[in-house]
Amino acid sequence: MKKILYMTFASSLLLTASCVDLNQEPLSFITEEEYIEYPKDVASTAKGVTALYHDLWGGNYGFNTRLQRLSVSADDITYSPTKANNPLGLFESLTPSISGNDADFSNPWIFFYKVISSANKIIEGTPIPTTKPEEMQQVLGEAYFMRGLSYFYLVRLFGEVPLMLTKADIKEGVPRTSVAEIYDKAIIPSLTKAAEWLPSKSRSGFSSTPSQWAAKACLADAYITMAGWPLNKGQEYYGKAAVTAKDIILNSGLKLTEKYANLWMEDKKEEANEHLFALHHNAKQKTASNYGKSYYPADFFPNAGWSDYYANESFYLKYPDDDRKAHNFMVKWPVSKSKVVNYKESADGLPAISKYYNYNEGAPGKSAQANGITCIYRYADVLLMYAEASVRATNTIDPLARKSLEEVQSRAHSSLTKTTDPQSFINAVFDERGWEFFAEMKRWFDLVRLQKLSEVKPTEWEGSLFKANSHYYFPVPSQQILLTEWTNNAGY
């Protein structure tokens, strides 16, 4: 009998293959037996929910790697042009390949559905006590958040995907479900429930677990995405995004971290700061990030990097000369004991991404695996979502929209936007999102929902798979297609 991948990991909690020892059980790992014996109290439920964050991490070459590789399709980061047959070139040229890039599609598919399957078990199998129900609801809110977030990624990456919300949904022959239905039945209800049940302060006290504000940030993001491509729900949903973001701004008590660079300091990642939700990495505990050798140039001395990612030079040259630029880019580096080169003189001729260099495990460029966080939402997201959504909904720049944009610009010591023209203001917010979230795995999603890919990569767009097939989706993994006989997204 055919067994599709999501059925396999729905019935067993296998760790995704990686360079770590597969027998190593991280601190958050729980066994299949513990899932089957449905949690009966808050503590055991919390243990099960904590495992969801490990599921999303997905291994040394999981979320932190795959989302960045897919982001080479955008215009803020690029790849090493001197690596022969570099598969990242297929993303850069907007011609992704189901064979050449298959792991970049299959791995996210697996770990997102792994989170969904585990979250479903917790949600469906955990009774809420009649006395002090809030304690259990707060923990279950995390499971709803993780389910909604995972479906949100899946539907943006792959379009139509299987809808599974209960054990009964996990069966052979499950079809792909429309994008609209995934939003209506999985994403919005899950995030709404999470926002209702999660506490105002996260369980951990910092960004390793979500608060109600993280859930509302994700909900605002879902609404602003629904307003654009592919659903194109327009002003009504920009209005929903604005209302949700405004609630966070007015009622959360959150504020921007004083210095942009401090957001990416290892010794500050467990502070209650601007980060709302993030994956927290620890190389020694086998939950590493890939902020090490991947981000260092191949000719970096004394530890040559893998040069997996660079900054796009055009993006770098357009970037305003502010505090963020100084932190985000390395444009000179040593290539020997006695020689320092400018990036134009380097082996690859591209600026390096220095945003995550404080997360090194040991000396710069020494290790592939590193510490740090992978930020998924932070307060700057909320401010810029409100600035954009409110103006798109009303065609008016209200004082809070202007203040929200200026807060982000002021923190960076960048020039402030003073225009009174709504469209010019919207354009400024779009640019600001690019500068603020450089290399944070967000740019692709902005380009897609706003259909700006042809504007920022006009040459690549002309020969792209996306233009030829009138969509912006990556392929459903090849093994899924072989086992289910689904029709893949057009062009694959």
Residue 420: which CATH number? 1.25.40.900
Residue 49 lies in a domain: yes
Residue 23 lies in a domain: no
**Lowest-confidence range among 11-25, 76-90, 100-114?**
11-25
Residue 38 banded pLDDT, cuts 50, 70, 90:
low
Averaged over 181-202, what is the pLDDT? 99
Tell me: pLDDT of 9 over 50. Answer: no
CA dihedral 210, 214, 219, 220 (to 10 degrees): -170
Highest mean pLDDT among 46-60, 136-150, 286-300: 136-150
User: Does residue 275 sit in helix, strand or coil?
Assistant: strand
Residue 129 lies in a domain: yes
Structure tokens, 197:
């049940």
Q: Based on the fold, state whether residues 312 and 277 are members of the same structural domain.
A: no
Residue 285 banded pLDDT, cuts 50, 70, 90:
confident
Residue 60 banded pLDDT, cuts 50, 70, 90:
confident
- Per-residue confidence (pLDDT) for residue 17, from 0 to 100: 31
Distance CA 125, CA 123 (A): 6
Averaged over 286-312, what is the pLDDT? 95
Query: What pLDDT, in 10s, does the model give residues 225-245?
Result: 999 999 999 999 999 999 999
Domain boundary among 129, 163, 198: 198
Residue 31 lies in a domain: no
Residue 203 lies in a domain: no
Is 228 or 361 the better-scoring residue by pLDDT? 228
Residue 81 banded pLDDT, cuts 50, 70, 90:
very high
HSE, CB side, 13 Å, CA atoms: give it for residue 74. Answer: 26
Tell me: pLDDT of 404 over 60. Answer: yes
Q: Based on the fold, state whether residues 273 and 289 are members of the same structural domain.
A: no
Rg (CA), the chain: 22
- Per-residue confidence (pLDDT) for residue 105, from 0 to 100: 98
Residue 361 banded pLDDT, cuts 50, 70, 90:
confident
Q: Based on the fold, state whether residues 356 and 387 are members of the same structural domain.
A: no
Tell me: pLDDT of 11 over 60. Answer: no
Highest mean pLDDT among 33-37, 165-169, 208-212: 208-212
Averaged over 75-101, what is the pLDDT? 96
Whether the Cβ atoms of residue 409 and residue 416 lie closer than 8 Å to each other: yes
Averaged over 88-110, what is the pLDDT? 97
- Per-residue confidence (pLDDT) for residue 20, from 0 to 100: 29
Q: Based on the fold, state whether residues 365 and 397 are members of the same structural domain.
A: no
Q: Based on the fold, state whether residues 48 and 164 are members of the same structural domain.
A: yes
Residues 6 or more apart from 322 whose CB is under 8 A from it? 412, 413, 414, 435
Whether the Cβ atoms of residue 49 and residue 136 lie closer than 8 Å to each other: no
Q: Based on the fold, state whether residues 269 and 297 are members of the same structural domain.
A: no
Q: How many domains does the chain have?
A: 3
Domain boundary among 322, 343, 371: 371
Averaged over 67-71, what is the pLDDT? 98
Domain boundary among 198, 225, 241: 198
- pLDDT exceeding 90 applies to what percent of the chain? 86
User: In whole numbers, what is the pLDDT of the chain averaged over residues?
Assistant: 92
Is 6 or 114 the better-scoring residue by pLDDT? 114
Which is nearest to 429 in space by CA: 396, 402, 462?
A: 402
Angle between helices 235-251 and 212-227 (to 10 degrees): 160
Q: Based on the fold, state whether residues 149 and 60 are members of the same structural domain.
A: yes
Residue 360 banded pLDDT, cuts 50, 70, 90:
confident
Residue 465 lies in a domain: no
- Per-residue confidence (pLDDT) for residue 1, from 0 to 100: 33
Distance CA 299, CA 335 (A): 6
Tell me: pLDDT of 397 over 50. Answer: yes
Residue 72 CB: number of other CB atoms within 10 A?
Answer: 26
**Lowest-confidence range among 84-93, 365-374, 444-453?**
365-374
Residue 437 banded pLDDT, cuts 50, 70, 90:
very high
Residue 247 is part of which domain span?
212-281+376-459
The strand pair at 340-342 and 352-353 is best described as unpaired
Residue 349 lies in a domain: yes
Q: Based on the fold, state whether residues 194 and 216 are members of the same structural domain.
A: no
Distance CA 208, CA 203 (A): 9
In angstroms, what CA-CA distances link 265 with 8, 257, 261?
A: 38, 12, 7
Quickly list DSSP for 282-343.
BGGGTB-BS-SGGGS-TT-SSS------EE-HHHHHHS-SSHHHHHHEE-EEESSSS-EEEG
Q: Based on the fold, state whether residues 276 and 306 are members of the same structural domain.
A: no
Distance CA 433, CA 450 (A): 13
- pLDDT exceeding 70 applies to what percent of the chain? 92
- Per-residue confidence (pLDDT) for residue 173, from 0 to 100: 81
**Can you tell me which residue has the tokens 């079809």?**
175
Q: Based on the fold, state whether residues 164 and 67 are members of the same structural domain.
A: yes
- Per-residue confidence (pLDDT) for residue 166, from 0 to 100: 93
Residue 151 lies in a domain: yes
CA dihedral 397, 402, 404, 406 (to 10 degrees): 150
- Per-residue confidence (pLDDT) for residue 362, from 0 to 100: 65
> What CATH number does residue 130 fall under?
1.25.40.390
Please report, in angstroms and rounded to a whole number, the separation of the first and last CA atoms in the chain. 26
Q: Based on the fold, state whether residues 240 and 327 are members of the same structural domain.
A: no
Q: Based on the fold, state whether residues 193 and 96 are members of the same structural domain.
A: yes
- Per-residue confidence (pLDDT) for residue 365, from 0 to 100: 85
